[in-house]
Amino acid sequence: MNSLRRFLCVVPLFLVLASSAVAKGGVKISEDKDRLRVEIDGKLFTEYFFADVPRPFCYPLIGPGDLPMTRDYPMQSPPGEEHDHIHHRSFWYAHGDVNGHDFWAETKTNPIVHQKFLAVKSGKKSGVIHSQNKWITGAGKWICSDERKLTFHSDTNPKIIDFEIKLMASNGDVVFGDTKEGSLAIRVAESMRVAPGTDKKAPRGHIVQSTGLTDTNTWGKAAEWCDYNGLVQGKQVGIAILDHPKNPRHPTWWHVRDYGLFAANPFGVHHFQNKPAGTGDLKIAAGKSVTFRYRVVLHEGDEKESGIAKLYEAYSKQKF
């Protein structure tokens, strides 16, 4: 009962009712303590953690064949996983230089704090989590805000998440600084990584970009989409991130690593292109905002078998 009261404080009653009235076989989003639980066709797809965490994030991401597509650490500590980069929490958005403050590395203790839900909707074809968040320094200074919308589709094969984020200069000018440490990010399942992990004999995964570049050659390169695929429990699966052509600085650069980090970063020009520091700074004037949109695809097979190029072509035509 107390949990329900907390939820009603931040979500209008009609949204709670809408989220509970889901048709069978669709997307159901329900509250569970410090998170929202997202189910597709009656099965767990992910959970959106928003309370008492360094920043909001989704964990796990359950892909085709009910396979876990993201690493468990640091939410859990199973054997067989590298315990590096504690801030790589499954699927998240953050950045390493916002007015000079690091919101990427959790050791800097600058949290992105959930403020309220603007919408929580279940549905037969899709479900939506729309939230508002504040970026606050460890000293308590309010730097900026965001509104992020995650749309989970139930009527698609492969599985699709649409991610939209509006970065708002709600407390003065904001500069998203030129650093590789950001921004829309996934830490893929350990068995999908390109570089050897704890199991040195395990098959290698692959990274492929729309430009044709592969594996370690993809880091810091610009491309319309990027795909990270490999084996999970012996089955070939992958995750693709598609950068919408209306995004600022499209095509984005990719902070994608052979050990499993997979991030779209439109700001890190200095690191990615060896240009003077600050070249990639993006300033948002007080009272203004900038919006980015991405599509995340969880698919079977590799990028060719799943038709990522065609999926990108369709997504690129989507109007907002």
**pLDDT tens per residue across span 184-233:** 999 999 999 999 887 888 889 999 999 999 999 999 999 999 999 999 99
User: Is 104's pLDDT higher than 60?
Assistant: yes
Instruction: Please state the length of the chain.
Output: 320
Residue 266 is inside which H or E element, if any? none
User: Is 111's pLDDT higher than 90?
Assistant: yes
Percent of the chain with pLDDT over 90: 83
User: Is 277's pLDDT higher than 60?
Assistant: yes
User: Is 157's pLDDT higher than 90?
Assistant: no
Mean pLDDT of the chain: 92
Say if CB 226 and CB 209 are below 8 A apart: yes
User: Is 90's pLDDT higher than 60?
Assistant: yes
Q: Report the pLDDT averaged over residues 43-54.
A: 97
Residue 24: pLDDT band (50, 70, 90) is: low
- Give me the residue label for tokens 């839900």: 117
Q: Is 154 left (phi over 0), alpha (psi -120 to 50) or beta?
A: alpha
pLDDT given for residue 202 in this prediction: 82
Q: Report the pLDDT averaged over residues 233-238.
A: 97
Closest C-alpha among 94, 164, 166, 107 to residue 135? 94
Please report which residue ranges of the chain form alpha helices under DSSP H. 2-10, 13-20, 269-273, 308-316
| Rounded Cα distance, 305 and 232, in Å | 16
SS3 242: strand
Task: Transcribe 41-55 into DSSP letters.
Answer: TTEEEEEEE-SSSSS
As a whole number of Å, the CA-based R_g of the chain is 19
> What are the CA-CA distances from residue 144 to residues 24, 50, 167 (Å)?
39, 17, 8
User: Is 300's pLDDT higher than 50?
Assistant: yes
Say if CB 197 and CB 82 are below 8 A apart: yes
User: Is 4's pLDDT higher than 80?
Assistant: no
| Rounded Cα distance, 186 and 260, in Å | 8
